[in-house]
C-alpha cells in the first residue's frame, strides 16, 4: 500500500478519499530530523507553503516518487534537484483560483466604496456620511485583469453578474 506524507495537512474529506482508495496516509506535521526520518518511508510527499523540500529532505527520501505542492508555486521545493533524482514534482495551480479571484473582487468593492477609510472613521467615533456616499458604482464600469494565473482569468467572469464589462490579458507565458 503506497504511503503518503501530507506534511502540511489536508482537508478531512480528501484524507478519507485517499484512505478509501487504498493509500496509507500520515497527516502529522514534521520538521527537521523528524521530517528526514518520516520522508525516508514514504512514496509521496505533499506540502503547502510551511514545508521546505530541500536537497537534504530529498536525499533522505529513499523511495519517494512524487512531491506535490498544494498551491500555485513550487518555490519551496528544490525542483531541479528532485527531478535529477527521478522524483516527479507537481503543483495544483488552480486550487485557490476562485478564492483569489473573489478576494480581488472584494478589494475592488472596498476601493470603489472607500470601505477601509469608512471603517477607520467609524472606529474613531466619526461618520462623515457625505464623504462616504461618494463612492462609485461598479455597474456598467469596465474592469480589467492582467496575468497568466487562473485567478486573473477567473476574475473577469464574476463582475458580469453586476453588468460590469470585463476583460483579461496576459503579457507572459506560464513557466509550469
Residue 63: which CATH number?
3.40.50.720
Residue 174's nearest CA partner among 154, 150, 155, 145 is: 150
Contact 64, 39 (CB under 8 A): yes
pLDDT tens readout for residues 123-154: 999 888 788 777 787 776 676 666 656 656 66
The pairing of beta strand 24-26 with beta strand 66-69: unpaired
Residue 174 lies in a domain: no
Q: How many helices (H) and strands (E) does the chain have?
A: 8, 7
Which residue has better confidence, 62 or 72?
62
Residue 130 lies in a domain: yes
**In this predicted structure, what is the pLDDT of residue 135?**
79
d(CA 56, CA 84): 14
> CA separation (Å) from 18 to 99, 125, 143?
24, 52, 41
Average pLDDT value for the chain:
84
The answer to which of 78-87, 106-115, 138-147, 148-157 has the lowest mean pLDDT is 148-157
* Residue range(s) defining the domain that contains residue 48: 3-91
- When pLDDT is averaged across residues 95-100 and rounded to a whole number, the result is 75
Which residue has better confidence, 90 or 163?
90
- When pLDDT is averaged across residues 80-105 and rounded to a whole number, the result is 87
Domain closes at, from 91, 119, 147: 91
**Same domain membership, residue 115 and residue 61:** no
**Same domain membership, residue 138 and residue 69:** no
pLDDT of residue 118 exceeding 80 = yes
Q: What percent of the chain has pLDDT over 70?
A: 78
**In this predicted structure, what is the pLDDT of residue 97?**
73
**Same domain membership, residue 111 and residue 79:** no
Residue 175 lies in a domain: no
Domain closes at, from 91, 124, 143: 91
Q: Which residues contact 31 (CB under 8 A, 6 or more apart)?
A: none
Q: CA-based angle 67:73:74, to the nearest 5?
A: 40
Residue 16 lies in a domain: yes
**Same domain membership, residue 86 and residue 124:** no
Domain closes at, from 62, 91, 120: 91
**Same domain membership, residue 157 and residue 83:** no
d(CA 135, CA 109): 10
- When pLDDT is averaged across residues 66-89 and rounded to a whole number, the result is 95
**Same domain membership, residue 103 and residue 51:** no
**Same domain membership, residue 120 and residue 69:** no
**In this predicted structure, what is the pLDDT of residue 176?**
47
Residue 57's nearest CA partner among 31, 90, 24 is: 31
The answer to which of 7-11, 113-117, 136-140 has the lowest mean pLDDT is 136-140
d(CA 38, CA 41): 6
Residue 147 lies in a domain: yes
**In this predicted structure, what is the pLDDT of residue 73?**
87
**Same domain membership, residue 69 and residue 10:** yes
* Total number of domains in the chain: 2
pLDDT of residue 62 exceeding 70 = yes
Residue 34 lies in a domain: yes
Amino acid at each position: 500500500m503506497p504511503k503518503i506524507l501530507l506534511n502540511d495537512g489536508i482537508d478531512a474529506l480528501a484524507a478519507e478519499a485517499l484512505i478509501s482508495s487504498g493509500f496509507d496516509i500520515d497527516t502529522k506535521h514534521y520538521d527537521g530530523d523528524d521530517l528526514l526520518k518520516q520522508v525516508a518511508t514514504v512514496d509521496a510527499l505533499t506540502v503547502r507553503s510551511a514545508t521546505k523540500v530541500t536537497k537534504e529532505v530529498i536525499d533522505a527520501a529513499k523511495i519517494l516518487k512524487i512531491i506535490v505542492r498544494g498551491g500555485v508555486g513550487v518555490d519551496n521545493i528544490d525542483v531541479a534537484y528532485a527531478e535529477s533524482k527521478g522524483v516527479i514534482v507537481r503543483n495544483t495551480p488552480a486550487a485557490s483560483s476562485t478564492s483569489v479571484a473573489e478576494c480581488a473582487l472584494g478589494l475592488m468593492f472596498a476601493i470603489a466604496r472607500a470601505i477601509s477609510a469608512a471603517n477607520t472613521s467609524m472606529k474613531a467615533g466619526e461618520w462623515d456620511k457625505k464623504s462616504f456616499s461618494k463612492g462609485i458604482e461598479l455597474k456598467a464600469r469596465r474592469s480589467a485583469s492582467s496575468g497568466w494565473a487562473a485567478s486573473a482569468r477567473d476574475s473577469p467572469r464574476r463582475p458580469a453578474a453586476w453588468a460590469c464589462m470585463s476583460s483579461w490579458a496576459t503579457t507572459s507565458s506560464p513557466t509550469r
